[in-house]
């Protein structure tokens, strides 16, 4: 990826399927774009990400506002989300601060922006996260605990707010206290964990109790690769995949993994004497694509980003729900932002996090401005893990031991 060295930088916001692309030029001196990370429950359930990161759109807004092909979700009385109805990418939000009938201010979801290689000796990034808002919603701090570096040396560490910017208290450096967080060996025995989008068009449950019962007593060799051999929590990690980034509109992606037989329709979606939730990726594809589909599927839609990959999302509010592919029929990736776990946004009582390990698909960020972002995140997550006294994830230990053997 060749670095850009001119006095202006061309930035593009685009969706995964390519139906929407908006480009503008920004003076290099105006970079990085000042962004805010929102950790509120609503943003997590509107995207599937652990948080959203938004910056003011620096280009013309009229063409975006007038677009007849962008889907629009009324997020709130003053905020609309503009997304691609084909592939789910959330591109912009429009915030109405002026009077009735006046156009709103446009912000861009930074995950929809390209991974420009800015070059230069200043290490400048395209985006700098200057603050975190509604961190209180997470209960456990969510992703804010490893996103403190702004990417702009002059700005220092990003400010965290329990509520909106400048509203109420700032989040203390040591919040949440380690004593309030579940240890790596502490497991929730909750039977069901809701998996739902913001608009509730997708309303499912992870049958956590069934998951634990099935895998209890199994050896490491018998367990699926994503199940912790001691606690039976499911793996949660960090990912830099370009396609997933565009799908969720987030710079960093966090998935966990669930057997399809451990997913079910919520009791609130109607009759439970109807067929169970699809048990294979092929059956899920067929069910969602059917002309006379099960109404309990609600607004669940799919986009085939490649011939063997299906990305499931809510067609009304844009939330990414699942990633599925043809060569693994019995389980799917589940967007962690949709989980409603009792202990907080990271759902540590049911997930086994690999803090500080090398993210997957790191090659997709190499050479661009996100390269530095991921370097900081890995460093911050590892520092936080060590300070907290949280052990290395079992998958990380296995991979590191395998690497040592190959080096001998």
Beta-strand (E) ranges in 57-100?
70-74, 79-84, 90-95
Place of tokens 């889907």: 71
Distinct helix (H) and strand (E) counts, the chain: 7, 20
pLDDT 10s digits, 300-315? 999 999 999 999 999 9
Q: What is the pLDDT of residue 64?
A: 94
Query: CB count, 10 Å around CB of 10?
Result: 12
Average pLDDT, the chain: 94
Q: What angle do CA 176, 362, 131 make, to 5 degrees?
A: 35
Percent of the chain with pLDDT over 70: 94
pLDDT 10s digits, 185-225? 999 999 999 999 999 999 999 999 999 999 999 999 999 99
DSSP state of 331: E
| 324 touches 312 (CB < 8 A) | yes
Q: What is the pLDDT of residue 259?
A: 99
Mean pLDDT, rounded, for 252-278 = 89
Residue 121 banded pLDDT, cuts 50, 70, 90: very low
347/301 Cα distance (integer angstroms): 25
Q: What is the pLDDT of residue 261?
A: 98
44/47 Cα distance (integer angstroms): 6
Q: What is the pLDDT of residue 103?
A: 82
pLDDT 10s digits, 340-393? 999 999 999 999 999 999 999 999 999 999 999 999 999 999 999 999 999 999
Q: What is the pLDDT of residue 152?
A: 67
Place of tokens 């967080």: 181
Burial per residue of 294-322, b for 16 or more beta-carbon CB atoms within 10 angstroms, e otherwise = bebbbbbbbbebeeebbbbbbbbbbbbbb
pLDDT 10s digits, 42-90? 999 999 999 999 999 999 999 898 888 999 999 998 999 999 999 999 9
Give, for 196, the enclosing helix (H) or strand (E).
strand 192-196
């Amino acid at each position: 990826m060749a670095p850009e060295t001119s006095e202006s930088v061309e930035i593009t916001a685009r969706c995964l399927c390519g139906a929407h692309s908006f480009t503008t030029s920004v003076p290099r001196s105006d970079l990085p774009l000042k962004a805010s990370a929102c950790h509120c429950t609503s943003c997590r359930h509107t995207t599937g990400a652990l948080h959203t990161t938004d910056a003011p759109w620096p280009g013309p807004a009229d063409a975006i506002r007038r677009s007849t092909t962008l889907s629009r979700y009324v997020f709130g009385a003053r905020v609309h989300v503009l997304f691609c109805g084909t592939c789910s990418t959330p591109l912009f939000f429009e915030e109405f601060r002026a009077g009735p009938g006046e156009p709103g201010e446009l912000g861009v979801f930074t995950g929809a922006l390209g991974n420009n290689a800015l070059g230069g000796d200043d290490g400048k990034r395209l985006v700098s996260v200057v603050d975190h808002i509604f961190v209180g919603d997470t209960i456990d701090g969510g992703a804010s605990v490893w996103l403190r570096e702004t990417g702009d040396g002059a700005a220092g560490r990003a400010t965290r707010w329990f509520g909106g910017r400048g509203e109420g208290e700032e989040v203390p450096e040591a919040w949440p206290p380690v004593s309030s967080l579940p240890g790596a060996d502490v497991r929730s025995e909750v039977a069901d964990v809701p998996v739902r989008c913001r608009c509730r068009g997708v309303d499912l449950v992870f049958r956590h109790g069934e998951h634990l019962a099935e895998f209890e007593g199994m050896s490491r060799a018998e367990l699926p690769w994503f199940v912790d051999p001691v606690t039976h929590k499911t793996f949660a990690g960090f990912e830099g995949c370009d396609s997933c980034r565009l799908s969720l509109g987030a710079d960093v992606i966090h998935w966990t993994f669930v057997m399809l037989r451990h997913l079910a329709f919520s009791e609130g979606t109607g009759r439970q004497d109807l067929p169970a939730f699809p048990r294979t990726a092929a059956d899920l594809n067929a069910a969602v694509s059917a002309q006379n589909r099960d109404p309990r599927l609600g607004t669940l839609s799919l986009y085939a980003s490649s011939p063997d990959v299906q990305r499931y999302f809510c067609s009304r509010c844009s939330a990414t729900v699942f990633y599925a592919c043809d060569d693994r029929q019995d389980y799917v990736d589940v967007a962690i932002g949709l989980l409603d776990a009792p202990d907080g946004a990271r759902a540590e009582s049911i997930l086994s996090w690999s803090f500080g390990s090398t993210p997957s698909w790191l090659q997709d960020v190499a050479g661009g401005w996100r390269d530095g972002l991921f370097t900081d995140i890995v460093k911050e997550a590892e520092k936080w893990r060590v300070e907290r006294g949280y052990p290395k994830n079992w998958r990380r230990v296995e991979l590191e031991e395998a690497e040592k053997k190959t080096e001998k």
